């Protein structure tokens, strides 16, 4: 039976009525849960930002060895850099070795070092063990370095 303006009226019965109510319940649940997630993200944003900043600072480096650099000097560089782990305050991780990428553009050696924070990275650059390494290593390499917050 149509309404007075001619719009048809449909009566749902049994299973159809249950499906409509279930669909409405699902939509309502999705709306409410989406709002809850958004609210939670908004309220926890400062904590999430603090967590991402607390992961530290990464020092990334790659070397091109100068022509004629002996293999024993390359191995010495690897060992000396690896030995910074445990000797340099605030150095959380050290990974160093031969570049295995075919896209290295001549950079055949490199590493990644994770520091607790920017102050720890700054202290590393002034640390006696690092300065000692630079005295003999710098003449043997062309280097690129990146420092990242991640």
Q: For residue 8, what are the CA distances in angstroms to 3, 20, 28, 147?
A: 6, 18, 26, 69
* pLDDT one-digit tens code per residue, 102-139: 999 999 999 999 999 999 999 999 999 999 999 999 99
Would you kindly state where each structural domain of the chain is located, as residue ranges? 10-54, 55-149
Q: Domain spanning 55-149 has what CATH number?
A: 3.30.70.100
Q: What is the pLDDT of residues 71-105, one digit of tens each?
A: 999 999 999 999 999 999 999 999 999 999 999 99
């Amino acid at each position: 039976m149509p309404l007075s303006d001619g719009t048809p009226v449909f009566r749902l019965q049994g299973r159809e009525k249950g499906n409509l109510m279930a669909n409405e319940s699902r939509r309502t649940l999705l709306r409410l849960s989406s709002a809850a997630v958004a609210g939670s993200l908004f309220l926890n944003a400062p904590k999430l930002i603090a967590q991402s900043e607390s992961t530290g600072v990464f020092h990334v480096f790659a070397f091109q060895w100068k022509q004629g650099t002996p293999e024993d000097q390359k191995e010495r560089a690897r060992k000396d850099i690896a030995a910074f782990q445990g000797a340099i305050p605030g150095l959380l991780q050290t990974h160093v070795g031969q570049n295995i990428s075919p896209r290295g553009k001549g950079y055949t050696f490199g590493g990644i070092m994770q520091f607790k924070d920017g102050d720890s990275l700054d202290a590393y650059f002034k640390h006696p063990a690092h300065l000692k390494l630079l005295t003999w290593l710098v003449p043997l390499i062309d280097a690129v370095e990146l420092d990242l917050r991640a």
